[in-house]
Amino acid sequence: MIQVIMGLKGSGKTKKLIASINDALASASGDVVCIEYGKQLTYDVNYRVRLVDSKEYGINNVDMLKGLLSGLHAGNFDITNVYIDNLYKTIGSDRAAGEAFIAWCAEFAQANNMKITLTISDDPAMASDAIKAYLV
Protein backbone atom coordinates (compact mmCIF):
# COMPACT_ATOMS: atom_id res chain seq x y z
CA MET A 1 0.00 0.00 0.00
CA ILE A 2 1.19 3.47 -0.78
CA GLN A 3 -0.01 6.89 0.29
CA VAL A 4 1.03 10.38 -0.81
CA ILE A 5 0.64 13.45 1.38
CA MET A 6 0.84 16.41 -0.97
CA GLY A 7 0.53 20.12 -0.39
CA LEU A 8 2.26 23.44 -0.67
CA LYS A 9 4.80 24.59 1.90
CA GLY A 10 3.08 25.31 5.22
CA SER A 11 0.01 23.17 4.49
CA GLY A 12 0.59 20.72 7.37
CA LYS A 13 2.23 17.81 5.52
CA THR A 14 4.84 17.25 8.21
CA LYS A 15 2.24 17.24 10.99
CA LYS A 16 0.24 14.59 9.10
CA LEU A 17 3.41 12.61 8.51
CA ILE A 18 4.43 12.69 12.18
CA ALA A 19 0.94 11.66 13.29
CA SER A 20 0.94 8.81 10.78
CA ILE A 21 4.40 7.65 11.92
CA ASN A 22 3.41 7.63 15.57
CA ASP A 23 0.13 5.84 14.80
CA ALA A 24 1.97 3.21 12.77
CA LEU A 25 4.45 2.68 15.56
CA ALA A 26 1.62 1.98 17.98
CA SER A 27 -0.07 -0.56 15.70
CA ALA A 28 2.66 -1.96 13.42
CA SER A 29 3.72 -5.56 13.79
CA GLY A 30 7.19 -4.74 12.46
CA ASP A 31 9.72 -1.96 12.21
CA VAL A 32 9.04 1.63 11.11
CA VAL A 33 11.58 3.56 9.01
CA CYS A 34 11.50 7.24 8.08
CA ILE A 35 13.74 8.61 5.33
CA GLU A 36 14.03 12.35 5.77
CA TYR A 37 15.88 15.11 3.96
CA GLY A 38 18.01 16.63 6.70
CA LYS A 39 17.70 15.90 10.39
CA GLN A 40 14.45 17.68 11.10
CA LEU A 41 12.26 14.99 12.65
CA THR A 42 14.64 13.76 15.33
CA TYR A 43 12.68 15.23 18.23
CA ASP A 44 9.22 14.85 16.69
CA VAL A 45 9.00 11.06 16.31
CA ASN A 46 9.41 8.25 18.80
CA TYR A 47 12.96 6.98 19.36
CA ARG A 48 11.95 3.50 18.09
CA VAL A 49 11.49 4.85 14.55
CA ARG A 50 14.60 4.32 12.44
CA LEU A 51 15.41 7.77 11.01
CA VAL A 52 17.59 7.84 7.90
CA ASP A 53 18.92 11.16 6.60
CA SER A 54 19.05 10.94 2.80
CA LYS A 55 21.47 13.89 2.66
CA GLU A 56 23.92 12.03 4.87
CA TYR A 57 24.09 9.20 2.31
CA GLY A 58 24.21 11.47 -0.75
CA ILE A 59 20.85 10.30 -2.09
CA ASN A 60 20.00 12.70 -4.91
CA ASN A 61 18.09 10.77 -7.57
CA VAL A 62 15.44 8.09 -8.01
CA ASP A 63 17.84 5.21 -8.59
CA MET A 64 19.77 5.97 -5.42
CA LEU A 65 16.55 6.17 -3.40
CA LYS A 66 15.36 2.85 -4.87
CA GLY A 67 18.70 1.34 -3.87
CA LEU A 68 18.38 2.71 -0.34
CA LEU A 69 14.86 1.28 0.05
CA SER A 70 15.91 -2.07 -1.41
CA GLY A 71 18.95 -2.21 0.84
CA LEU A 72 16.93 -1.34 3.94
CA HIS A 73 14.50 -4.13 3.12
CA ALA A 74 17.27 -6.61 2.31
CA GLY A 75 18.86 -5.90 5.69
CA ASN A 76 15.61 -6.09 7.65
CA PHE A 77 12.61 -8.08 6.40
CA ASP A 78 10.63 -6.91 9.45
CA ILE A 79 10.08 -3.39 8.06
CA THR A 80 6.33 -2.87 7.72
CA ASN A 81 6.14 0.91 7.30
CA VAL A 82 8.39 3.28 5.37
CA TYR A 83 7.94 7.05 5.35
CA ILE A 84 9.72 9.33 2.90
CA ASP A 85 9.62 13.03 3.73
CA ASN A 86 10.21 15.69 1.06
CA LEU A 87 10.44 13.45 -1.99
CA TYR A 88 11.28 16.24 -4.43
CA LYS A 89 14.02 17.65 -2.19
CA THR A 90 15.57 14.18 -2.11
CA ILE A 91 15.36 13.27 -5.81
CA GLY A 92 14.99 16.67 -7.46
CA SER A 93 11.81 18.28 -8.71
CA ASP A 94 11.38 16.20 -11.86
CA ARG A 95 7.67 15.30 -11.77
CA ALA A 96 8.04 12.46 -14.29
CA ALA A 97 10.77 10.87 -12.16
CA GLY A 98 8.58 11.33 -9.09
CA GLU A 99 5.66 9.59 -10.80
CA ALA A 100 7.87 6.72 -11.92
CA PHE A 101 9.26 6.38 -8.39
CA ILE A 102 5.77 6.32 -6.87
CA ALA A 103 4.73 3.60 -9.33
CA TRP A 104 7.84 1.62 -8.39
CA CYS A 105 7.05 2.11 -4.68
CA ALA A 106 3.53 0.76 -5.19
CA GLU A 107 4.93 -2.43 -6.73
CA PHE A 108 7.72 -2.71 -4.15
CA ALA A 109 5.32 -2.21 -1.24
CA GLN A 110 2.89 -4.82 -2.53
CA ALA A 111 5.64 -7.36 -3.24
CA ASN A 112 7.17 -6.92 0.21
CA ASN A 113 4.01 -6.49 2.30
CA MET A 114 4.78 -2.99 3.50
CA LYS A 115 3.16 0.41 3.58
CA ILE A 116 5.01 3.38 2.06
CA THR A 117 3.95 6.96 2.72
CA LEU A 118 5.57 9.92 0.94
CA THR A 119 5.28 13.67 1.28
CA ILE A 120 5.52 15.94 -1.73
CA SER A 121 5.72 19.73 -1.60
CA ASP A 122 3.66 20.69 -4.60
CA ASP A 123 0.18 21.89 -5.46
CA PRO A 124 -2.24 18.92 -5.25
CA ALA A 125 -4.26 20.46 -8.08
CA MET A 126 -1.22 19.99 -10.35
CA ALA A 127 -0.88 16.28 -9.48
CA SER A 128 -1.20 13.81 -12.31
CA ASP A 129 -3.88 11.13 -12.26
CA ALA A 130 -1.19 8.57 -11.37
CA ILE A 131 -0.34 10.49 -8.18
CA LYS A 132 -3.95 11.47 -7.39
CA ALA A 133 -4.77 7.77 -7.01
CA TYR A 134 -2.55 7.68 -3.90
CA LEU A 135 -3.40 11.05 -2.29
CA VAL A 136 -4.69 11.06 1.28
The predicted pLDDT at position 107 comes to 96
Does residue 102 surpass a pLDDT of 90? yes
* Number of CB atoms found within 10 A of residue 3's CB: 16
- Strand ranges inside the chain, DSSP E: 2-7, 31-36, 50-53, 79-84, 115-121
pTM (predicted TM-score):
0.93
Q: What is the CATH number of the domain that holds 27?
A: 3.40.50.300
pLDDT in tens, 13-68: 999 999 999 999 999 889 999 999 998 888 889 999 999 999 999 999 999 999 99
* Single-letter code of the amino acid located at 68: L
What is the domain count for the chain?
1
Containing structural domain, residue 43: 2-132
